[in-house]
Amino acid sequence: MSVDFGSRRVVVGAHYGLRDWLSQRVTATLMALYTALLLAQLLFGGPLGYDRWAGIFSAQWMKVFTFVILLSLGWHAWVGMRDIWMDYVKPAALRLVLQVFTIVWLIGCMGWAIQVLWRL
Amino acid sequence: MPEMTKQRPGMMRLVDALQYRLPLAGVVSILHRASGLMMFVLLPLIIWFFDVSLTSEITYERFTSAFESGIGFVPGVLVKVLVLGLMWAFLHHFIAGVRHLWMDATHSVSKEFGRQSAVVTLALSVVLTLVLGAKLFGL
């Protein structure tokens, strides 16, 4: 059996790249659909003030959809930012710090947005 | 493998990369990254807008007045400039993303399509940013 660990480990294949490629496109498509839906609600329905703006997000189905979109955004941004760090930051220690920072930043932002959404 | 490794010219530095003229599709590609990074960095600002615009009518006033009287020590003009930047970033990222999805779905991977769709992406995102920007700045 050939050696496939240590410096010879296989880092490509096994659908490793396919998963990121596909999740990036699935989350992007969901966010694009959400954008169109939100835009349609904003453009049609009379003058926009606090009541109508808050009304859009207080519908339960819109809360659920927005929640899914927030998670999609977090995942999408994680894959994208990790690509940037992997391409431009070579020192492993600095890259790890930046990747951890990215996760903390994104989870923090998602938590804040979900709180705003669900106390409405 | 070792023979191949020997022939490699070594790490490409940014100064080397800048010697090449970037095709328009390449400009769209690097701006796709830049716009994504920009939205990642400014994500708390976007969520702050989401927060104050939704929480109550009183905080909604803070949202609308942010563009005139600013947020804390950040003047209103700078808030407008940041939002203008976010508008461009979103539009470019969105259109460049749809371009990717279109290419994947229809296998439109010719050199001409790459160039033409890059021109459309760059032009459309800038034009839409200017239109929305004119509204934002009250022109």
Q: Three-class SS string for B87-136?
A: HHHHHHHHHHHHHHHHHHHHCCCCHHHHHHHHHHHHHHHHHHHHHHHHHH
CA A6 to chain centroid, in Å, comes to: 32
Residue B134 has pLDDT above 90, yes or no: yes
Tell me which residue of B27, B21, B25 sits closest to B114, measured CA to CA: B25
Task: Give the pLDDT band of residue A12 (cuts 50, 70, 90).
Answer: low
Residue A11 has pLDDT above 80, yes or no: no
Which residues 114-133 of B are in CB contact (within 8 Å) with A? Answer: none
- A109 near B CB under 8 A: yes
Domains (range + CATH), chain B:
24-136 (1.20.1300.10)
Q: Which two tokens stand for residue B125?
A: 């995102």
Residues of A in contact with B40 (CB under 8 A): 77, 80-81, 102, 105-106
Q: How many whole angstroms separate alpha carbon A83 and alpha carbon A92?
A: 14
A35 and B94 Cβ atoms separated by less than 8 Å: yes
What rounded mean pLDDT belongs to chain A? 91
Chain segment B98-114, per-residue pLDDT in tens: 999 999 999 988 999 99
To the nearest whole Å, the CA of B75 is away from the closest chain A CA by 24
Quote the pTM value. Answer: 0.87
Sign of the torsion formed by the C-alpha atoms of B79, A81, B12 and B96 = negative
Name which of A53, A84, A105 is nearest B53 (Cβ-Cβ): A53
Residue A2 has pLDDT above 90, yes or no: no
Q: Which of A40-49, B47-56, B112-121 has the lowest mean pLDDT?
A: A40-49
pLDDT over 70 for what percent of chain A? 90
Domains (range + CATH), chain A:
6-118 (1.20.1300.10)
Residue A16: the pLDDT is 67
Residue B59: the pLDDT is 95
Q: How many whole angstroms separate alpha carbon A118 and alpha carbon A57?
A: 9
Chain segment A47-61, per-residue pLDDT in tens: 999 999 999 999 999
What rounded mean pLDDT belongs to chain B? 92
Is A54 close to B54, i.e. CB distance below 8 A? yes
Chain segment B9-52, per-residue pLDDT in tens: 777 777 887 888 889 999 999 999 999 999 999 999 999 999 99
- B50 near A CB under 8 A: yes
- B53 near A CB under 8 A: yes
Q: Residue B85: what residue type? A: G
Residues of A in contact with B33 (CB under 8 A): 80, 84
Residue B89, CA distances (Å) to A16, A43, B32, B76 in order: 29, 21, 8, 20
Q: How many whole angstroms separate alpha carbon A95 and alpha carbon B58?
A: 42
Which residues 19-38 of A are in CB contact (within 8 Å) with B? Answer: 25, 28-29, 32, 35
Residue B60 has pLDDT above 90, yes or no: yes
Angle at A50 between CA A48 and CA A54, to 5 degrees: 100
ipTM of the complex as predicted:
0.86
